[in-house]
Amino acid sequence: MNTAKLYSSYKTKMQKIADVKYASAVLQWDQETYLPPKGNDFRGQQIATLSEIAHQQFTDKKMGDLLEKLSSREDLTAAEKRNIALSNEDYKRNVKLSAAFVRQLSETVNQSYHAWAKARKENSFDNFEQPLNKLIQLKRQEADMLGYEHHPYNALMNDYDKGLTVSTVDSLFNELKARLLNLLDFLKNKISVDHSFLAQEFNKDEQWKFGLELLKRIGFDFEAGRQDISLHPFTTNFSSKDVRVTTRIDEHDFGNMTWSCLHEGGHALYEQGLPADQYGLPLGEYCSLSIHESQSRLWENCIGRGLPFWQHNFKLLTNSFPNQFKNINIEKFHKGINRVSPSLIRTEADELTYHFHVMIRYEIEKMLIEGSIQTKDIPACWNEQYQKYLGIKVPDDNRGCLQDIHWSHGSFGYFATYSLGSLYAAQLYSTIENQHPTLSEDLANGKINTIQGWLQKEIYCNGRYYSSEELCKKATGDTLQSSYFIDYATKKFAEIYG
């Protein structure tokens, strides 16, 4: 068979597998948005069946033989060669896991998610401990099956950012921690910034309308996506033409929904910008979760907490909430939304203390996977770390170790990508500013084409062609450096705090 026919066969197989995976993703999205409570068990079975089918199809020996044949062909384009190379890597990794194990893991995730949701309602970690413990045991098994060097957590982090290791993250976090503590020590002696106006009463429906308008203004295509409410904000996609975001609303906390919309909107713009002609293939997928988080953190913070963005959108804000912001000018608003202060909830944390929320989760995950602490130890360990790093006492489980959805999904190895994403975001934003000196003026005038065009050209269109570090070097001329974030934060908060 000639190369063109072989590649066409590969593409057809990959797209059929993608169809099954995205069908499962639709069911998972529905599970977290509209599923009636009595549907939990059968929904878990349905998702497990589809996960098992997709795994069986991808790890079938015929797929391995096809990839091996194509790997030796010299008459493929550069993009085709890259798709085959990446699929081959994925294949060799996935064949280490049996279909039965994949099904068991999916079923356990379903049980764990619903136990977490119930525990949240009852504000008690006890109801989550056993299902979570079962899931952690499976994640340890998964690490052993996949294989690793030095630390079992490396095998799990590799799922979210290929090649990411404990050694790399530990080194980066130790460097970042020292510099953040210096900056926080400097800021603690400054006059506190008022943000009390964000804690007034904000009608749920009015917040919803405002959030939808913000998404439109950053370029989210509602012909290729939608927003809904969920217990924990998330973004999922079923193709680049169908991207779903969710948010949550607190009628006494304006920031909760607003920056969730911008954060998830950043994720969604990335998904909508991926090459549609590469559907089902590696080049139609995102680079890594670290790069994905760079997009959400860029829109949430570098842009969405920046003064230029609000110079354009402040009128929308005051028109939407005239009573709440009638005595608040844009300068006070800008300072308030950037107030630096230790807090309990990661998703609502300021840009500096946010990293300590991530580091705490990262350290706990490492210990759980290596077995140095047990699941029952999580609340005490969590509370101790929050006292140590942020100097705050955790009052209950909902504002402590139950606040994130990730562990219920089995997403061990994910959390480090949030901090890495913030570092990548600052480095990308610095590059865009240098290449486009009128960026602030453009944002102040509501012109987002400058930043969208750059991201499309440098990030979105590449799919998985490059690793995180390769993509960063290509886009910014430098490998990931924490100094870009520290410089960005120092300049920003020096202006805000004087």
Could you tell me which residues come within 8 angstroms of residue 226 by beta carbon, excluding any fewer than 6 positions away?
244, 245
In a domain, 313, yes or no: yes
Same domain flag for 76 and 208: no
How far is it, in rounded angstroms, from Cα 330 to Cα 344?
Answer: 27
Give residue 411's domain range.
166-497
Q: pLDDT per residue over 230-243, tens digit each?
A: 988 999 999 999 99
- Joined together, the tokens standing for residue 28 give 């998972």
* pTM, entire model: 0.93
Residue 216 lies inside a defined structural domain of this protein: yes
Are 66 and 208 contained in the same domain? no
Residue 348, pLDDT score: 86
45-91 per-position pLDDT tens digit: 899 899 999 999 999 999 999 999 999 999 999 999 999 999 999 99
Contacts of 475 (CB under 8 A, 6+ apart): 428, 431, 458, 459
Per-residue pLDDT of 315-334, as tens digits, reads 999 999 999 999 999 999 99
Tell me: do 36 and 136 sit in the same domain.
yes
Cβ-count burial 288-298 (b if 16+ within 10 Å, e if not) = bbbbbbbbbbb
> Are 475 and 328 part of one and the same domain?
yes
Residues 386 and 492 in one domain: yes
Question: How many domains does the structure of the chain reveal?
Answer: 2
Instruction: Note whether 65 and 176 are same-domain residues.
Output: no
User: Which pair of tokens denotes residue 140?
Assistant: 């340890």
Please count the residues of the chain.
498
Residue 197 lies in a domain: yes
Q: What is the pLDDT of residues 416-455, one digit of tens each?
A: 999 999 999 999 999 999 999 999 999 999 999 999 999 9
H helices of 338-448, where?
A: 354-370, 378-390, 416-435, 439-444
Residue 161 domain-assigned (yes or no) = no
Q: Tell me the sheet residues that pair with 156.
A: none
Residue 252 neighbours by CB under 8 Å, 6+ apart: 199, 200, 201, 202
Q: What percent of the chain has pLDDT over 90?
A: 90
Residue 13 has pLDDT above 90, yes or no: yes
**Structural Rg of the chain based on CA atoms:** 23
Alpha carbons 315 and 300: distance in angstroms, whole number? 19
Instruction: Please confirm, yes or no, whether 264 is among the known catalytic residues.
Output: yes
The overall average pLDDT reported for the chain is: 94
CATH of the domain at 216: 1.10.1370.30
Does 306 lie in the same domain as 247? yes
Residue 189: per-residue pLDDT: 79
Q: Which of the residue ranges 89-103, 151-165, 182-196, 347-361 would you say has the lowest mean pLDDT? A: 182-196
pLDDT band at 286 (very low <50, low <70, confident <90, very high): very high
Report the DSSP beta bridge partners of residue 239: 242
Place of tokens 């917040």: 207
- For 271-345, strand residue ranges (E) read none
Residue 471 sits in the same domain as residue 433:
yes
129, 264, 285, 458: the catalytic one is 264
